[in-house]
Structure 1
Amino acid sequence: MTTNTKLIHTMIRVSDLDNAIAFYRTALELEVKDQFVFDGFTLTYLYNQETAFELELTFNHEASPSYTHGSGYGHIAVSVEDIETCHRRLKSQGIQASDIKQLHHQKHHLATFFFIKDPDGYKIEFLQRQGRYL
């Protein structure tokens, strides 16, 4: 019997909710879908029309000390139609982006990509939409 498991969101903790929402609106073209304010924390779900998968921002109202990413966090990845245009757009909006790089495996092109970081230091990988990264 199958359970039809479906990925629906990933969650990250943010230190400044308004700043995080503005960043993800600019960098990933995400908008607020839902927001739930509780006594000690706020959950904000971001989305766009490209996918049903959501990014959940968790803001703890009185978090201290600051969050750390530890040694286990890697990155969030998104795919884009035109990596060079996206790279130029982000840089023109003041977002620091790494150089565009290519990754090859056994002499075959696997990926074209670059990285940015959000205001809390989370890495985001942008991949050219091709091959396994559609």
Structure 2
Amino acid sequence: MKFLFQHCNINVTDLDKSKAFYKEALGLHVVKEKQYDNFTLCYLSDEQNLFQLELTYLNDHPQHYDLGENESHLCFVCDDMEKAHAHHEKMGCICFENPAMGIYFIHDPDDYWIEIVPQK
């Protein structure tokens, strides 16, 4: 038996704002988008399309989501940490840094945290 990791889902309060953030911050692009009566699913991916981030927008949920203690996060590997850090700093989305580990976190419009780690 073999399993392949396909996607991870997060719920967002403003789909257009989230798509714009993920494009600018991480270079993700829309792979497909499906609209239903009460919600929209939007799948984002990087250049390799091996894994997708599914953004779910619920029509009747305008309030922010309770993310608890925000200990869950996504993680992206970057080939140029200096350039990425400068870009994210300019965007104003860096929310935590750990220089000793050589990593930092950014947060999206709904306050989901994304870890940025160097490519090894």
Q: Residue 32 of structure 1 contacts residue 45 of structure 1 at CA under 8 Å; is this kept in 2?
A: yes
Other-structure match for 2:115: 125
Quote the sequence identity (%). Answer: 32
Other-structure match for 1:88: 86
Between the two proteins, the alignment pairs up a number of residues equal to 120
What is the alpha-carbon distance in structure 2 between the residues aligned to residue 54 and residue 102 of structure 1?
30
- The Cα shift of 1:93 comes to 3.2
SS of equivalent to 1:20 = helix
Other-structure match for 1:115: 105
Other-structure match for 1:55: 53
RMSD between superposed Cα atoms in Å? 1.8
- Quick one: which amino acid aligns to residue 92 of structure 1? K
What is the alpha-carbon distance in structure 1 between the residues aligned to residue 19 and residue 28 of structure 2?
8
- Equivalent residues in 2 for 1:62-77 (5 A)? 62-63=60-61, 65-71=63-69, 73-77=71-75
What is the alpha-carbon distance in structure 2 between the residues aligned to residue 80 and residue 51 of structure 1?
16
Other-structure match for 1:79: 77
How does the TM-score come out when normalised to structure 1?
Answer: 0.81
User: Following TM superposition, where does structure 1 have runs of at least 4 consecutive aligned residues deviating by more than 6 angstroms?
Assistant: none
1:43–1:73 Cα change, 3 Å: farther
| Alpha-carbon displacement from aligned partner over 1:59-113 (angstroms, at most 9, x marks no partner) | 001115531112475110000001111101122234335345233xxxxxxxx21
Other-structure match for 2:22: 24
Q: Identify unmatched segments of 5+ residues in structure 1.
A: 104-111
- Quick one: which amino acid aligns to residue 127 of structure 1? V
Other-structure match for 1:43: 41
Q: Identify unmatched segments of 5+ residues in structure 2.
A: none
Query: Who wins on radius of gyration, i.e. which is larger?
Result: 1
Q: Residue 13 of structure 2 contacts residue 63 of structure 2 at CA under 8 Å; is this kept in 1?
A: no
- The Cα shift of 1:51 comes to 4.4
How does the TM-score come out when normalised to structure 2?
Answer: 0.90
1:82–1:100 Cα change, 3 Å: farther
- Quick one: which amino acid aligns to residue 39 of structure 2? F
